[in-house]
Structure 1
Amino acid sequence: MAASTSPIPKTQRAAVTVALRAPVEIKTDWPVVQPEDLVPGQILVKMEASGICHSDLHIKDGEWPSRPVPFVGGHEGIGIIVALGKGTVESETVRLGSRVGIKYTLGSCGRCEYCRSGLDTACAKGLYSGLTDNGTFCEYMVAYADSAVPIPEGVTSEEAVPVLCAGVTVYNGLKRSGTKAGDWIVVPGAGGGLGLLAVQYAAAKGLRVIAIDTGAEKKEACLSLGAEKWVDFKESSNLVGDVVAAAGDRGPHAAIIVTPSIAAYGQAVQYVRHFGTIVAIGVPSPSATLQVPFSAIVGKSRVLTHIRRSLQDAIDALAFVARRKVIAQTLPRKLEDLNATYDDMIAGKLVGRAVIRF
């Protein structure tokens, strides 16, 4: 018999994708997996908070492969473990009553070349929150003990939850960018949830940040959180020239692109210095194509994706929050606000990371 801390309800509230490219529906009778139905290694988590990511929108709109509808999206959550599958081994940080984080990767085979190389997000047998498995937009979620992220004491769930996707993604991207303290790094899309975290992590690592976005509110947020220079892409008549001028005549050492704008990638190839780095995080539409002069690529820059986001990366990224070096700029939302939040996301209105509190 599976162990649990308290009676578990049979049904719950959940934001359910019932059709692709359609608004999600708030269900009040979505089933809760019962403790006796958990398999070894699984845990049942009573959710406290969930972030809302642009990737969730891609999945809902059918731009990424997903499980057949209906399904529950979301891949950035925090909650309390209320049940363990039979045979699931407790640890110091994963046990009944523990507060844990749920990130995109729920599980992997652990044996393939990708897993052995720390690339479990590419595992062919991988399990992914809100994609292959029901995700965090619900009151009770099934997760896996091996991938549960311990949350530091003294850090609230609202502060920590954006780190489990947005934070760990930019943290890993910065780690792999090849930059060192004193280097210039550009953050296109700096005023959004990902961008403001990228600005803070970069500043905490001693990098000099050029923030690109638009609007007075985003400018104020970026500069107050550690950006040294600001370029408004709507006001600039020569964005590439403005970025190079901000960093000096050789241009910046790297760019970490957190916006889904395909134009941002074309610009980055032109303003990054020779042998600089472009880290691709924002995902443009699958139909988008990048057209840049070949001469701008040869011998100039290397492009890295953000596929590496390990459990250790999440723990390390949360340590910055625990030390108050990074403070997520969160926007409180209700589960019922999910569709409106997606609309604001598309319109570029969010200054920070939208977080649902259960």
Structure 2
Amino acid sequence: MRAADQLWLLRRRCAFAEYTVTPAAFATPVPGGVSSLDAAPLSCAGVTTYKAIKVARMAPAETVAVFAVGGLGHLALQYARIAGAFVIAVDVEDHKLELATRLGADHVINAAREDPAQAIQVLGGADVAVALAASSASFNQAFHALRRGGRLVCVALPTGGTIELPIFDTVLKGVTVTGSIVGTRNDLADVFALHAAGRTEVVAAERKIDEVNESIADVLGGRVPARIVFGM
């Protein structure tokens, strides 16, 4: 596909436009304490991971493993910490694990160098595993990282579209597997309120809309710490 066709297709799918019209009932005001640069990722990655942490029914002092520390994961680990959890961050890039440490992760694991499920079990296992990597293998690792009574929250959408669940482990350990998709307008209002209060940090690089194809290549190549926001 030509670059021009790719750009046209992405604009059609992702609404890369300066303005849009939406019913007021389905719009959430951005408070004064949230910049446009931060509001864009919060309206996607923020509300998605905030909802995932809510779906996990997390209790204070539980252990949460966040699989993939990117645009979604760097916010997921912050919401888990706000909920009072101890956080284990898993990724295959050292610079993303360094970001996770800076944002307050208690442990970091490079899945390219060791089996994260085994490493997490050595730490006592996770009460919750949030699967944010578009990889079926990562979903399986997240499942096996759980301790008895653990909850796997599925967020990412791997290309293969399936994961294998060992029935004996699921039944005997009382594991729960659930899906979580985006969030509500009330969830987004909470996300904005937390950010305006200084409870979260958005890591994003601002680029021009004309750089969309190069930006996608950088995301796929793992060269972007978290999110990219396009300025019009």
CA spacing shift, 1:214–1:307, aligned 2, 3 Å:
closer
Measure the CA separation in 1 of the matches of 2:164 and 2:117. Answer: 15
Q: Does 2:142 match 1:268? A: yes
Is the Cα–Cα contact under 8 Å of residues 154 and 322 in structure 1 kept in the other structure?
A: yes
Which residue of 2 is the match for residue 206 of structure 1? Answer: 84
Which residue of 2 is the match for residue 244 of structure 1? Answer: 121
Q: Does 2:67 match 1:188? A: yes
Q: Does 2:54 match 1:175? A: yes
Measure the CA separation in 1 of the matches of 2:19 and 2:177. Answer: 39
Letter in 1 for 2:146: V
Higher strand share: 1
Higher helix share: 2
Q: Compare relative contact order (CA 8 Å, sep 6+) and give the higher one, 1 or 2.
A: 2
Out of 220, 226, 230, the residue aligned to residue 352 of structure 1 is 226
Shift of residue 272, structure 1, vs aligned partner? 0.7
DSSP 3-state at the match of 1:298 = helix
Shift of residue 267, structure 1, vs aligned partner? 1.1
Q: Does 2:75 match 1:197? A: yes
Measure the CA separation in 2 of the matches of 1:343 and 1:158. Answer: 21
Measure the CA separation in 2 of the matches of 1:175 and 1:243. Answer: 22
Is the Cα–Cα contact under 8 Å of residues 269 and 296 in structure 1 kept in the other structure?
A: no
Is the Cα–Cα contact under 8 Å of residues 51 and 181 in structure 2 kept in the other structure?
A: no
Q: Does 2:19 match 1:140? A: yes
Letter in 2 for 1:284: P
Q: Does 2:117 match 1:235? A: no
CA spacing shift, 1:308–1:197, aligned 2, 3 Å:
closer
Is the Cα–Cα contact under 8 Å of residues 208 and 228 in structure 1 kept in the other structure?
A: yes
Which residue of 2 is the match for residue 23 of structure 1? Answer: 6
| 1:326-341 equivalences in 2 (<5 Å) | 326-341=200-215
Measure the CA separation in 1 of the matches of 2:222 and 2:171. Answer: 33
TM-score, with normalisation over the residues of structure 2? 0.92
Q: How many residues align?
A: 229
Shift of residue 199, structure 1, vs aligned partner? 1.2
| 1:92-111 equivalences in 2 (<5 Å) | none
DSSP 3-state at the match of 2:205 = strand
Larger radius of gyration: 1
What's the Cα RMSD here? 1.9
Shift of residue 271, structure 1, vs aligned partner? 1.5
Is the Cα–Cα contact under 8 Å of residues 49 and 182 in structure 2 kept in the other structure?
A: no
Letter in 2 for 1:243: I
Which residue of 2 is the match for residue 160 of structure 1? Answer: 39
| 1:93-132 equivalences in 2 (<5 Å) | none
Shift of residue 184, structure 1, vs aligned partner? 0.3
Measure the CA separation in 2 of the matches of 1:357 and 1:207. Answer: 35
TM-score, with normalisation over the residues of structure 1? 0.61
Measure the CA separation in 1 of the matches of 2:171 and 2:223. Answer: 36
Is the Cα–Cα contact under 8 Å of residues 269 and 297 in structure 1 kept in the other structure?
A: no
CA spacing shift, 1:291–1:176, aligned 2, 3 Å:
closer
Cα distance per residue 1:234-265 (max 9 Å; x no partner): 111x321101112x2xx110011111111111
